[in-house]
C-alpha cells in the first residue's frame, strides 16, 4: 500500500516537471551538418567582402542538390550538366583525385572574382566568372549544397542551389 501511495504521488510530479521543462525550453532550430555549416560560412565570407548580406541554409535546396549530385554521379557518369531548374541558381564543380572540402569548392568559385570586372559587369576574355557572381548575388537569400562521389571516375561532384536564382544577364551582382 505504501508503494502504491508513493507511485501515485510521483507520477503527477513527473508529468508536471516534464511539462514545465518542455515549456521553459526555447524552440530550437534544427542543427545543420558540418558540411552545411562549411558551405554557408565560405559563401558568407565571400559575400561579406563585397558588402552583401549573408545566406541562410535551406534544407530543401540541400536535398535537391543531393539528389541531383547522386543522379549525375550514378547515371550521368559524374559529368557536369547544364541543369537549369529556373527556380534556383546552380553552381557545380567536378574534381578528380582531390579530396575537396565544401570550403575549397566555394573558394574555387570565388577565385573567378579575379576575372570579373565590376565596372563593366563582364568577365575577362577567355575566362568565366558566372559562378562567382552566383556566390555573391545580392538578391539570393538561401542556399543548399551537396557532394557525391563518382566511383567509376574516382571523382567528386559538388552542387549548390541558390534561391532566388539571380545572376541575371545585364545586372550587377552587388
The better pLDDT of the pair 3, 122 is held by 122
Q: Is 80 exceeded by the pLDDT of residue 108?
A: yes
| Predicted confidence (pLDDT) per residue in 50-71, tens digit | 999 999 999 999 999 999 998 8
Dihedral sign computed on CA atoms, order 36, 79, 129, 142: negative
d(CA 38, CA 6): 52
pLDDT for the residue numbered 154:
80
Residue 127's nearest CA partner among 116, 141, 135 is 116
Alpha-carbon distances of 42 from 29, 97, 159, rounded to whole Å: 21, 22, 14
Residue 105, CA distances (Å) to 10, 28, 42, 61, 124 in order: 56, 30, 9, 17, 21
Q: Which domains occur in the chain, in start order? A: 34-163 (3.40.33.10)
Beta-sheet strand order (sheet of 155-163) = 56-57, 142-150, 155-163, 89-96
Percent of the chain past pLDDT 70, that is, above it, reads 78
Q: pTM for this one?
A: 0.79
More confidently predicted of 7 and 134: 134
Give the model confidence (pLDDT) of 9-19 as tens digits.
333 333 333 33
Taking 70 as the threshold, does the pLDDT of residue 29 lie above it? no
Residues 13/6, Cβ–Cβ less than 8 Å: no
| pLDDT score of 21 more than 50 | no
Distance CA 126, CA 107 (A): 20
pLDDT of residue 91: 96
Q: Which pLDDT band, with edges at 50, 70 and 90, does 80 fall under?
A: low
Amino acid at each position: 500500500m505504501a508503494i502504491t501511495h508513493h507511485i501515485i504521488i510521483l507520477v503527477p510530479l513527473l508529468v508536471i516537471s516534464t511539462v514545465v521543462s518542455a515549456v521553459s525550453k526555447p524552440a530550437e532550430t534544427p542543427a545543420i551538418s558540418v558540411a552545411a555549416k562549411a558551405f554557408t560560412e565560405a559563401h558568407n565570407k565571400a559575400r561579406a567582402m563585397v558588402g552583401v548580406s549573408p545566406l541562410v541554409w535551406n534544407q530543401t535546396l540541400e536535398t535537391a542538390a543531393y539528389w541531383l549530385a547522386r543522379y549525375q554521379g550514378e547515371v550521368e557518369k559524374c559529368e557536369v550538366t547544364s541543369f537549369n531548374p529556373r527556380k534556383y541558381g546552380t553552381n557545380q564543380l567536378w574534381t578528380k583525385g582531390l579530396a575537396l572540402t565544401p570550403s575549397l569548392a566555394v573558394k574555387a568559385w570565388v577565385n573567378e572574382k579575379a576575372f570579373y570586372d565590376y565596372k563593366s559587369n563582364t568577365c575577362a576574355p577567355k575566362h568565366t566568372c558566372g559562378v562567382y557572381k552566383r556566390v555573391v548575388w545580392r538578391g539570393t537569400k538561401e542556399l543548399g549544397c551537396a557532394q557525391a562521389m563518382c566511383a567509376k571516375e574516382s571523382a567528386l561532384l559538388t552542387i549548390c542551389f541558390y534561391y532566388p536564382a539571380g545572376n541575371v544577364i545585364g545586372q550587377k551582382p552587388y
